[in-house]
Chain A
Amino acid sequence: MEFSIQTDELSKGLYRAQGIVEKKTAMPILSNVLFTALDNGIVTITATDLEVGMIGEHPAKVSQEGSITISARHLYDIIRSVKNKEVTIKKLENNWAEISWGSKEYRMLGMAAEEFQNLPDVSAAKLFGVDAKVLKNMIDKTIYAVSTDETRYNLNGSFLEKSGEAGFRMVATDGHRLSLIDASLAKQSEDIPFPEGVIIPKKGLLELKRLVESEEDDCQIGLDANNLVFKMKGVTVVMRLLDGQFPEYQQVVPENQKISLTLERAPLIESLRRVSILSSDRTLGLKMSLQTNLLRLTASNPDLGEAREDIDVEYDGPELTVGFNARYLLDALAAIETDSVRLSLDDDLSPGVFRPLGDDSYTCVVMPMRI
């Protein structure tokens, strides 16, 4: 195998692979990327961790077909600083690879291509076009709520399902808070081949986000058996969906709540940040107390002191005090983009709900702390 490739093209392919290859693994080959040189002037770069896999096609001058695997991280670290050059990668005996340009020559110990785990064949997947900006937005607005608790495996990803006129709904929760967004993801409005809701693993979401940030054209997704397939110009990503039942999330999104407040987002974020500095380390708990035309934030930590900030609001209902984890409130407020937010509450045991003012397509539910 031997081919020459522009360093920008090679860097791009290796950069994309970085998020997928395993840094520490019992299977060393998973730290490598697979180069396959084809006779049509294409070199493919494949990376996989057996859960998420990616294959990219890159134009190259192929002088001899073949394939080899090389450490993704080391090769990327070497190539990333080489601008506007053409490098030649050549397979030598015993899976050694020679990487050279000009007077520079590197030899790296690779592993046999036959040992590399190929991506599942997803050629039968029915794909449909999606709006890359919308996809990125849906991921951004849910991913922070994905659970990292391995004992709640079915919450370790975002749930995606077809929903109503808006097209698609993405939901993520860790049991403490939940974020839900409705958006017109598909470019077509009918015959969308997406029969049921699926749970997309967090790592896969991060990869998708990375890809749609760099390119926005011709993105497609689709399902194939237990995999989600994503395609865009020159790149295919295949990720194994989380099996398991996503919880009945609709049941925990409160409706017709008794209390509704309109709050300025930026000042509220600042207040929450300051007040939470004096809340207890482990739980970051603070209290929100509502009185007539007043929202009071308080926190205390026996080792540090106490904080109190009063915020003017329009309110004339009964007094109420609810405890919240400041982190969860800040995460929700950071995901909202409007200047004003609506906060809805029922009582001190029921969830609080944040929404952008005048926009019901995005919902952040936060469960209180017992105080």
Chain B
Amino acid sequence: MRVIFHVDMDAFYASIEQRDHPDLRGLPVIVGGDGKRGVVSTCSYEARTFGVHSALPMVQAMRLCPQAIVMPVRMRVYSEVSAQIMEILGSFSPLIEPLSLDEAFLDMSGTQQLFGEPLQIARAIKDEVLRVTQLPCSVGIAANKFLAKLASDLEKPDAITLIPFGREREFIAPLSVRKLWGVGPKAEARFRDLGLRTFGQVAACELDWLEERLGSIGAHVYHLARAEDDREVVTQRERKSVGSERTLSEDIRGYDQVERVMWQQCERVGRHLRGKGLVARSVRVKIRYSRNFQLMTRDAALPLPTDDSAGLMSGARQLMAKIDLQTPIRLVGVAAFQLDQAGCGGQADLFLQPKRDKHSKVEHTMDAIRDKFGNMIQRGSTKTGQR
């Protein structure tokens, strides 16, 4: 029998702000961008009672909870704290799969000899995280990943929830299908149309019947509702893409304006690729228009596997030429995908190689300077008013 833990920090960013600013404790705190276009990254449980939740536009959040204190995102601090937490979790099991900065799966199968019964281990993990970071977390314990994640959420915050082994189906039967990650209001409505609200009802259906009516999600939910999930805890997630995007404080339009923002995103993506020793074979640009939040994405293969920002940018430029840039735009993003390890087995190019090698070398050098002295050098074309 497998024993899977899902450890999830409670209101992670907001809790860190409350920890570092004691006068905020007990008050509604919202962490997020405070510009016109800002969204809520995280909010404290005090703010949640007003209906504020993450991903809510800031303007709306402030309407719901005018007394909330808005704190800017301090991503560097959060990453550092996250690293501390992952290290603690790693000391309990080598099989750890971080899902994001503030949550991870642990495979604790067969560790009872070492650490004791699951509930005891969960208690020890919570204590250790609290001792080192002064932050609360919740732990879900169950026989598979799906159930563990479900469990950690059930009694949040600051809770340990164990789904009894062998009685999983019984335990989750009364829960709403909404509890399943990935089932949003739309999917829920489709289930409801079939008269299905709870896992118990779904589990009682025939698989074929569900698939016929709901397609692949029907089968997915069917198995989960029967508490079947054999996905392993994957220790190192293979990166599939590296992306960067920016929501603009004011709409932009026109090639030059978009190009400048695109450059900044390519710089960030390129730097990330080089830092990880990856090269990309394709690039994707993403534009969100203000009108109806309409999203436009376009992909292109790169002529050479690329880790330099200029190479990504030339791919992005090709795509920009195919996209309407005259309509007001609120978000510009770029992603590199089809990633390979750099330096192994790439076909060199007769015409592009010398230039590409030079770019790559320059940018690796720039990275080294930035690592040492901070972000003091930048490409001229990413600065306002210059090309």
Contact = CB atoms under 8 A, between A and B. Distances in A.
Interface of A: 149, 151-152, 173, 175-178, 247, 252, 280, 283, 285, 323, 325, 349, 351, 365, 367-371
A369 B318 contact: no
Given A151-B303, A152-B303, A175-B303, A369 B350 contact: no
Contacts of A177: 350
Nearest to B350: A252
A84 to B, nearest CB: 52
B350 A370 contact: no
B350 A280 contact: no
Contacts of A280: 345
B353 A367 contact: yes
A149 B303 contact: yes
B346 interface: yes
B348 A369 contact: yes
Contacts of A285: 345
7 shortest A-B CB distances, which residue pairs?
A252-B350, A367-B348, A175-B349, A370-B346, A367-B350, A247-B351, A369-B347
A223 B114 CA distance: 84
Given A151-B318, A173-B350, A369 B345 contact: yes
Interface in B267-309: 300-301, 303
B302 to A, nearest CB: 9
B1 interface: no
B385 interface: no
Nearest to A279: B345
18 contacts: A149-B301, A173-B351, A175-B349, A175-B352, A176-B347, A176-B348, A176-B350, A178-B350, A247-B351, A252-B351, A285-B345, A323-B345, A367-B347, A367-B348, A367-B349, A367-B350, A370-B346, A371-B344
A351 B350 contact: yes
Contacts of A178: 350
Contacts of B350: 173, 175-178, 252, 351, 365, 367
B155 to A, nearest CB: 47
Nearest to B346: A370
B371 to A, nearest CB: 25
Given A151-B303, A151-B318, A371 B351 contact: no
Interface of B: 300-301, 303, 318, 343-353
B352 A370 contact: no
B362 to A, nearest CB: 18
Contacts of B348: 176, 349, 367-370
Interface centre among B301, B344, B351 (most CB of A within 10 A): B351
Contacts of B301: 149, 151
Nearest to B357: A349
B351 A283 contact: no
Nearest to A177: B350
Given A149-B303, A151-B300, A151-B318, A176 B345 contact: no
Contacts of A323: 345
Contacts of B343: 370
B351 A370 contact: no
A367 B304 CA distance: 13
Nearest to A350: B348
Contacts of A370: 343-348
A173 B350 CA distance: 9
A344 to B, nearest CB: 15
Contacts of B352: 175
Nearest to B348: A367
A323 B300 CA distance: 27
A249 to B, nearest CB: 8
Nearest to B305: A370
A369 B346 contact: yes
Contacts of B303: 149, 151-152, 175
A284 to B, nearest CB: 10
A369 B346 CA distance: 5
A176 B349 contact: yes
Nearest to A282: B345
A68 to B, nearest CB: 39
Nearest to A252: B350
Given A151-B318, A252-B351, A283-B345, 10 more contacts: A149-B301, A175-B349, A177-B350, A252-B350, A280-B345, A283-B347, A285-B345, A323-B345, A367-B347, A367-B353
